[in-house]
Amino acid sequence: MKNILVVASHVEPNDHNGASKYIKWIVSCIPSEFNVTVISCGGKWQDIGTVMEIDSGHLDSKKIALVKSLFSKHPYHSYRLCNPKTIEYLQNEQINKYDLIIVSFIHSYIRLSPLLKSFDGKILVITHNYDPDIYSVWNRLNFIQKIISLLDSFKYKFASHEPLLNNVMFAHVTESDRNKFTKIFPKVKHYIFPPPVPSSKSSETSIDDGVIRFCFIGSLATSFNVEALEDFASCFWPTLRKMLKSEFFVFGSHPSKNVISLCNDQGWELKADLSDDELGKQIAKMDIGVMPFFKTAGTKLKLMHYFSAGCAVCCTSEFPEVFYNGKKIAISSNDPNDWVIFSKEIQENRTSIKLTTRKAAQTEARNTKDCINSSILDVMSLPL
């Protein structure tokens, strides 16, 4: 039986962010014919069939990671995502007993690449996001984050121009990410590992009282989510509020002071830190989820989360329109007037749209798992 090692130091117990859910989803899709070992800070991997777990200890704090990165060629995120105990384990472990090492985040690969030079098997790097998008978002935030974004983007460009090990491949969340990374690494094999589709057990339906209920979900301390809400407030909400009888709900964890203030100023209803069950029930009462992102970083899980709950989706032009069985369930436009027209269509067909979006999510869930499963089989079958 062949062996796979998954390096995911960033995953911590009770961690519900998108990156952790995504890597757990990938592990759950690995065919059962392989032995799987995971290095992480915890996270109940046994629940998804993992054979062995290795505790990598705590991650460096933001301050420690920043100090280390200032005196190193490695980017800040290399220290935040890959901790010393992981490196110690790989130094002492006979890594060539593994046939494949899956590394979560390219920043982790950058830090681990000197150790992996002696590895005879295959390496699959899970990118999660197109990193330059993250840096451009951080460049709009506070002074410290601007400094980190400038230093990291320079170090990242330098690292990305270093020759890759011959046994490296990449897996991306979307076609867009794959296209961007292919330009940087044109000679490397690239796969798409679609994100998980949340399962919604709620049969709740939105209230037909003439009000269109919009919603946003996401970690409310994360920079690109905060930026998206600010963009929604300035670019879309004024027109939606003027042209429609509408309400806006913000769901998420750990809301920052900026988010709390923004919700109060705009008259939005903030529902923070709900349990998964309660979150599912609340979103199922909504009509439309919004994705007001002008970059795709950090947004991959949201679309299917909305569909799973029975919501149609209004997206910027960063995302494609989505049809299912001939019905449009997601619009792609930067024009708020287009969002108004689409919202009225959804309002007239509430019950039908709820059924259609949930069916679309169920279909995508089956296709997604098959895609990852077959891609890993392909990786394992390739000659070195």
Distance, CA of 276 to CA of 202 (rounded, Å)? 11
pLDDT of residue 380: 93
pLDDT for 32-41, tens place per residue?
899 998 888 7
Distance, CA of 201 to CA of 207 (rounded, Å)? 18
Residue 72 confidence (pLDDT) above 90: no
* Helix ranges, the chain (H): 18-29, 62-70, 76-81, 84-92, 106-116, 131-138, 143-160, 175-184, 223-235, 237-243, 257-266, 276-284, 300-309, 336-348, 350-381
Tokens 């890959």 found at: 82
8 A C-beta contact, residue 38 and residue 8:
yes
8 A C-beta contact, residue 193 and residue 148:
no
* Positive or negative: CA dihedral 356, 358, 359, 361: positive
Which whole number is the average pLDDT over 230-256? 95
For the segment(s) 3-193, the CATH number from 1.10.287, 1.20.120, 3.40.50, 3.30.300 is 3.40.50
In the CATH scheme, what is the code of domain 212-363?
3.40.50.2000
Tell me the pLDDT band of 272, cut-offs 50, 70 and 90.
very high
Lowest mean pLDDT among 210-214, 259-263, 273-277: 273-277
Residue 151 confidence (pLDDT) above 60: yes
Rounded to 5 degrees, what are φ and ψ at 92? -95, -20
pLDDT for 284-329, tens place per residue?
999 999 999 876 655 667 888 899 999 999 999 888 899 999 999 9
Distance, CA of 175 to CA of 114 (rounded, Å)? 29
For the chain, which residues make up each domain, given as ranges?
3-193, 212-363
pLDDT of residue 373: 92
pLDDT for 351-374, tens place per residue?
899 999 999 998 888 888 899 999
Which whole number is the average pLDDT over 267-273? 95
State percent of the chain over pLDDT 90.
39
Structure tokens given for 154: 């320079």
Lowest mean pLDDT among 135-139, 160-164, 169-173: 135-139
pLDDT of residue 106: 87
pLDDT for 100-141, tens place per residue?
999 999 889 988 988 898 899 999 999 988 766 665 655 555
Q: Which residue has the higher pLDDT, 302 or 62?
A: 302
The H or E element that residue 10 is part of is none
With vertex at residue 170, the alpha carbon angle to CA 168 and CA 175, rounded to the nearest 5 degrees, is 160
pLDDT of residue 341: 97
Tell me the pLDDT band of 330, cut-offs 50, 70 and 90.
very high
What separation in angstroms does the CA of 348 have from each of 74, 263, 280, 351? Answer: 53, 28, 23, 9
Distance, CA of 169 to CA of 84 (rounded, Å)? 24
Distance, CA of 371 to CA of 287 (rounded, Å)? 30
Residue 203 confidence (pLDDT) above 70: no
Q: Which residue has the higher pLDDT, 228 or 78?
A: 228
Query: What are the beta bridge partners of residue 215?
Result: 249, 289
Residue of 222, 181, 171, 197 whose CA lies nearest to 21:
197
Tokens 């909400």 found at: 237
Given this chain, do its domains 3-193 and 212-363 carry the same CATH topology? yes
Tell me the pLDDT band of 153, cut-offs 50, 70 and 90.
low
pLDDT of residue 191: 96
Distance, CA of 192 to CA of 247 (rounded, Å)? 36
pLDDT of residue 74: 74
8 A C-beta contact, residue 122 and residue 169:
yes
Residue 271 confidence (pLDDT) above 90: yes
Residue 78 confidence (pLDDT) above 60: yes
pLDDT of residue 324: 93
